[in-house]
Amino acid sequence: MEVKNWTYEEIPEFDQKVDGAKVIVTTGDEMGVSYGHDVEYANIDGVALHLQILTPTCRNDHYNPFGEQENMKLPCFVFVQGSAWFPQYVYANVCNLAKLALKGYVCAIVQYRHSGQAAFPAQITDARNAVRFLRKNAKKFGIDPDRVVIAGDSSGGHTAVWAGMLHDDESADNLFPGISGEVRGVVNYYGSTSVMAPDSNPIQTLHCLPDSPEGRVMGGKNLLENPELARALSAECNIDENTVMPPMLIFHGTKDRTVNCTCSAVLYETMKKTGHDVTLYLLKGADHGGSEFWSDQIIGIVDEFCKKCF
């Protein structure tokens, strides 16, 4: 065989008989996942922020990790990794999100500025800037810019909910002027969306004190002495009939020791009363996260929700 720069179509197929070899027929539609590690999407005052990008790949899609995608225009699932607003371990759900990537989604995990670097709402600003970055680079990552959903777990769920609520942010904090940060849906996994109740975080004894996670993300303030800050942080206190929000899907475990399940119940009831599209799934016996939230059943529910949003 001549040695040259063969195209896939041109190269002759190996067809020699090899005694004992077994042949598996392929179609080119067999799906895999490519992992883009630590893709920088922003640098704010010297703080570099990154995305972990999971891209579904198969031979027939001609995936090119070093250039623009030829035939790919896939929906994008943006996921904010929770961390109690402390530094994130952004790799925690890479393998779990690969299950959704295999359904045909480009999945991007967002790193935000943690509470030691910036106070609320910096985390929401970061998430929306991540959406803008992905939309700006849609061809490079094989994304359909019109089909973007944002999700997150725990404090990342809080961030995702607010990213769907916040709209009037064409300011200096917008790193990509003229590019939309809007999303078509929100998936909230056991989000720490409210601090209004004393048992919002059942195993935390520092509720709303300056050293609590919620106190730190509000600038190290005592939220008991500044109830307006507690309300500003709590999603349900900022939703009424005039709030523009995309559809929301909520998952929460009934034995969550970290974020009380009532947080999601209150958010769900508030959204229903104010005429918003919301669905709540209670996972009986589930704690704060775990494999229960990434079962085939849950992945299927998320997939169907996203399709309805588009």
Segment 83-128, tens digit of pLDDT? 999 999 999 999 999 999 999 999 999 999 999 999 999 999 999 9
| Reported confidence tier of residue 170, pLDDT bands at 50, 70, 90 | low
Please determine, for residue 65, whether its predicted confidence score (pLDDT) is greater than 90.
Answer: no
**Average pLDDT for 14-41:** 95
Rounded percentage of the chain residues whose pLDDT exceeds 70: 98
Burial of 110 (0-12, 13-18, 19+ CB in 10 A): buried
Residue 124 within any structural domain of the chain: yes
Burial of 30 (0-12, 13-18, 19+ CB in 10 A): exposed
Residue 20 within any structural domain of the chain: no
Cα torsion for 106, 85, 309, 250, to the nearest 10°?
A: 120
What is the DSSP code (8-state) at residue 249?
A: E
Q: Whose CA is closest to 84, among 162, 189, 158, 160?
A: 158
Q: Whose CA is closest to 146, among 105, 169, 178, 180?
A: 180
CA distances from 263 to 7, 187, 209 (A): 56, 15, 19
Residue 172 confidence (pLDDT): 75
Residue 14 within any structural domain of the chain: no
Rounded percentage of the chain residues whose pLDDT exceeds 90: 91
Residue 25 within any structural domain of the chain: no
Q: What is the number of other CB atoms lying within 10 angstroms of the CB of residue 58?
A: 14
Distance from C-alpha of 78 to C-alpha of 196, rounded to nearest angstrom: 27
The model's pTM: 0.95
Beta carbons of 131 and 125 less than 8 angstroms apart: no
Residue type, 102: L
Distance from C-alpha of 244 to C-alpha of 237, rounded to nearest angstrom: 14
Residue 160 within any structural domain of the chain: yes
Segment 257-303, tens digit of pLDDT? 999 999 999 999 999 999 999 999 999 999 999 999 999 999 999 99
Count of structural domains, the chain: 1
- Tokens 């005052």, located at residue: 45
Residue 169 confidence (pLDDT): 67
CA distances from 278 to 25, 196, 248, 260 (A): 44, 21, 5, 19
Residue 156 within any structural domain of the chain: yes
Please give the order of strands across the beta sheet that includes 278-283: 32-44, 47-57, 106-110, 74-80, 143-153, 185-189, 248-253, 278-283
Residues in contact with 190: Cβ distance below 8 Å, sequence separation at least 6, in sequence order = 153, 154, 157, 251, 252, 253, 256, 258, 259, 261, 264, 288, 289, 293
Please determine, for residue 47, whether its predicted confidence score (pLDDT) is greater than 90.
Answer: yes
For 286, the domain range is: 32-309
Residue 141 within any structural domain of the chain: yes
Beta carbons of 92 and 52 less than 8 angstroms apart: no
- CATH code (residue 44): 3.40.50.1820
CA distances from 276 to 233, 244, 280 (A): 20, 9, 13
Segment 199-252, tens digit of pLDDT? 999 999 999 999 999 999 999 999 999 999 999 999 999 999 999 999 999 999
Residue 171 confidence (pLDDT): 72
Residue 9 within any structural domain of the chain: no
